[in-house]
């Protein structure tokens, strides 16, 4: 640890309103004009002399998960004001997972650019990042990492569960479970309509260990959020206290050198990967963490990931892998419980924005005992191996991801006949066709759903079990695609196949009837077709990556990197960023 780090902010070092002046060729005029316009908002001279904490604000009528933000914002402001700075909220893009087409993933980088530029262009000495829904936390962290000002991540917190016929329901593992039962005829239309109103019953992010929960834990493990804040439910009074303290902390960071590049390091990224594996977090988090790390020139390579996976047990008994919800995880000891369980595998010298090292944090006595029915010990894990693994092979030369912990044990070593769908449209047109030639041992393959495809890598990797097989009781099949999967889903599902089919990867060459072999033990995924036949097919391949003529879609098409590089834009990663 660098002992020279200035842990405590000095408010006199803040530039406040005089930071980053508008260029009129006359600095005094620019400040005079800025102060004049700020006064039109009713600020006093006294207020305008203070250093400024910006608040990246992502409330939106299209983002149910951020419904608690008006109240949280007031608490953040209270914390900033009480600590001697001026809080100024500003809007940035908000991404509500289910309200965006073709997928929120297409807009994560847009949001990150908005965040980076607005933090850099506006006069603020530090910033609180308010996010929560799946893509917002990575976009905020990516933007803040590139902007380089001291930043504090504050998440919305998870939803509470609803009730239905005596059982608890939480978005969105139970959404999928009930939808699967409805498709197989086990649940009536009347009941599915009833369930629709009971899955997401409070503000906050999805109630299971999905992408939002995983990213909240990753943000705290990286050191970018207040210790203990990641899992506090959205509606809990402690969430408001965490917001107030986040505002105070952002004020203390003014003048400090605890910028994101001091916090997000090779070591803290490895710690975050360990936590991702121990909580059996979302596969999406691998892409997002790769993109966040990439903003600071830190690579995540497949072999290191698999080594960490083989050394890190799954400890957390939460849906979709286990039985419980985020509210239970919070009460059981939350991230602190996980960090303590795997402390000997973590780098203790990583810093948090509080200025404290992880080792210093974990040396403090626990205020509450850990509930080991929900956060298990290393001696009594849910699974002795990590929840996710990377696969390589002739079908995915640059890698693919399998959520091992959410897969059916009997399918982890499997060879089967491919049944291929060439696009999402083809999938939806044929998957429930009673004449579809498919059986439960087959391998369902979806092409053209990766980041470079027209659909921009949606969460479509959870291919539905064909209706006629579902009706026969088939619950899981090996499913392979270059798409993503919701962190709340489960099954033996191989995702993020790279290179993707839209750019001519081997996935594009699979034909119905080919044999495919998955081996979780060997971490391999192979297309069992000989090279001469592959060469013949490759020669006849027609590229499917679309060409966009204008706007953001054009930028996206020109700059999108593969899943193995976090799906960032090539000009935003550290090596290509100069501003």
Backbone φ, ψ for residue 52 (5° rounding): -115, 130
Size of the site for ligand FES (CB under 6 A): 10
Residues 498 and 565: their CA atoms lie apart, in Å, by 10
The nearest distance, CB 199 to ligand FES, in angstroms, is: 11
Task: CB nearer to ligand FES: give 281 or 452.
Answer: 281
User: Least distance (Å) from ligand FES to the CB of residue 136?
Assistant: 8
* Stretch of residues binding ligand FES (CB under 6 A), selected from 202-210, 298-306, 500-508, 527-535: 202-210
Query: Between residues 339 and 489, which has the closer beta carbon with respect to ligand FES?
Result: 489
Nearer to ligand FES, 97 or 270 (CB): 97
Work out whether 212 is an interface residue with ligand FES (CB under 6 A). Answer: yes
The answer to whether the peptide bond before residue 102 is cis (omega within 30 degrees of 0) is yes
Instruction: Choose between 134 and 245: whose C-beta lies nearer to ligand FES.
Output: 134
Closer CB to ligand FES, residue 51 or residue 157? 157
Among 88, 206, 419, 502, binds ligand FES (CB under 6 A): 206
Is the Cβ–Cβ distance between 274 and 310 less than 8 Å? Answer: no
Is residue 133 a contact partner of residue 205, using CB atoms and an 8 Å limit?
yes
Q: With respect to ligand FES, which residue has the nearer C-beta, 210 or 499?
A: 210
Is there binding between residue 205 and ligand FES (CB under 6 A)? yes
Q: How far is the CB of 93 from ligand FES (least distance, A)?
A: 15
CA distance 250 to 416: 54
Q: CA quadruple 568, 573, 576, 579: dihedral positive or negative?
A: positive
**133 interacts with ligand FES by CB under 6 A:** yes
Q: Does 97 bind ligand FES (CB under 6 A)?
A: yes
At its nearest, how many Å lie between ligand FES and the CB of residue 132? 7
Q: Among 116, 125, 134, 244, which residue interacts with ligand FES (rule: CB under 6 A)? A: 134
Q: Which is nearer to ligand FES, 119 or 212 (CB)?
A: 212
Instruction: Report the site for ligand FES in 10-69 (rule: CB under 6 A).
Output: 65
**Nearest alpha-carbon partner for 516 in 456, 574, 444:** 444
Cis peptide before 172 (omega within 30 of 0): yes
Rule CB under 6 A: say whether 155 interacts with ligand FES.
no
21: exposed, middle or buried (Cβ count in 10 Å: 0-12, 13-18, 19+): middle
Please state, as a whole number, how many other Cβ atoms lie within 10 Å of the Cβ of residue 466.
24
Angle between helices 284-294 and 266-278 (to 10 degrees): 170
- Contact between 445 and 419 under an 8 Å Cβ cutoff? The reply is yes
Contact present, 18 and 123 (Cβ < 8 Å): yes
Q: Does 489 bind ligand FES (CB under 6 A)?
A: no
Judged by beta carbon, residue 284 or residue 354, the one nearer ligand FES is 284
User: Is residue 10 a contact partner of residue 255, using CB atoms and an 8 Å limit?
Assistant: yes
Which residues sit at the interface with ligand FES, rule CB under 6 A?
Answer: 65, 97-98, 133-134, 171, 205-206, 210, 212
């Amino acid at each position: 640890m660098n002992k020279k780090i200035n842990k405590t902010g000095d408010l006199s070092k803040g530039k406040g309103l005089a930071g980053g002046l508008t260029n009129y060729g006359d600095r005094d005029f620019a400040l005079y004009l800025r102060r004049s316009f700020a006064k039109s908002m009713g600020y006093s001279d006294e207020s305008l002399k203070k250093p400024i904490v910006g608040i990246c604000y992502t409330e939106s009528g299209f983002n149910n998960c951020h419904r608690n933000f008006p109240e949280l914002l007031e608490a953040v402001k209270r914390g900033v004001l009480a600590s001697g700075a001026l809080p100024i909220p500003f809007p940035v893009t908000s991404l509500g997972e289910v309200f965006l087409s073709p997928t929120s993933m297409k807009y994560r980088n847009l949001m990150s650019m908005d965040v980076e530029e607005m933090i850099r262009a506006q006069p603020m000495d530090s910033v609180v990042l308010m996010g929560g829904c799946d893509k917002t936390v990575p976009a905020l962290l990516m933007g803040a990492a590139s902007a380089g000002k001291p930043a504090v991540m504050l998440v919305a917190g998870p939803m509470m569960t609803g009730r239905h016929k005596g059982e608890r329901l939480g978005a969105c593992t139970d959404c999928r479970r009930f939808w699967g039962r409805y498709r197989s005829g086990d649940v009536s239309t009347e009941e599915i309509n009833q369930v629709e109103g009971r899955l997401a019953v409070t503000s906050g992010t999805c109630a299971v260990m999905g992408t939002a929960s995983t990213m909240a834990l990753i943000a705290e493990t990286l050191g970018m959020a207040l210790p203990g804040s990641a899992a506090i439910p959205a509606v809990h009074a402690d969430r408001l206290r965490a917001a107030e303290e986040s505002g105070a902390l952002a004020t203390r960071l003014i003048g400090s050198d605890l910028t994101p590049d001091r916090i997000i390091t090779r070591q803290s990224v490895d710690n975050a990967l360990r936590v991702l594996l121990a909580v059996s977090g979302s596969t999406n988090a691998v892409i997002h963490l790769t993109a966040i790390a990439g903003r600071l020139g830190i690579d995540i390579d497949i072999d290191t990931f698999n080594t960490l996976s083989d050394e890190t047990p799954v400890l957390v008994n939460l849906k979709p892998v286990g039985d419980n919800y985020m509210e239970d995880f919070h009460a059981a000891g939350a991230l602190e419980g996980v960090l303590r369980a795997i402390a000997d595998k973590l780098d203790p010298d990583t810093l948090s924005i509080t200025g404290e090292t992880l080792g210093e944090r974990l040396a403090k006595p626990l205020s509450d005992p850990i509930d080991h029915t929900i956060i298990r010990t290393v001696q009594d894990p849910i699974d002795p191996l990590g929840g996710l693994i990377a696969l390589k092979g002739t079908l995915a030369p640059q890698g693919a991801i399998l959520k091992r912990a959410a897969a059916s044990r009997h399918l982890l070593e499997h060879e089967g006949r491919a049944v291929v769908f060439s696009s999402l449209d083809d999938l939806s047109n044929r998957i429930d066709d009673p004449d579809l030639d498919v059986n439960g041992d087959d391998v369902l393959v979806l092409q053209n759903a990766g980041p470079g495809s027209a659909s921009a890598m949606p969460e479509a990797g959870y291919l539905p079990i064909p209706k006629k097989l579902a009706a026969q009781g088939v619950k899981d099949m090996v499913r392979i695609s270059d798409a993503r999967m919701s962190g709340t889903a489960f099954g033996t599902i191989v995702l993020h196949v790279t290179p993707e089919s839209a750019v001519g990867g081997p996935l594009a060459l699979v034909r119905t009837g080919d044999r495919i072999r998955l081996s979780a033990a060997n971490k391999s995924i192979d297309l069992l077709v000989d090279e001469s036949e592959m060469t013949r097919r490759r020669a006849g391949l027609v590229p499917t990556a679309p060409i966009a003529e204008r706007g953001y879609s054009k930028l996206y098409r020109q700059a999108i990197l593969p899943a193995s590089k976090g799906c960032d834009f090539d000009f935003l990663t550290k090596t290509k960023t100069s501003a």
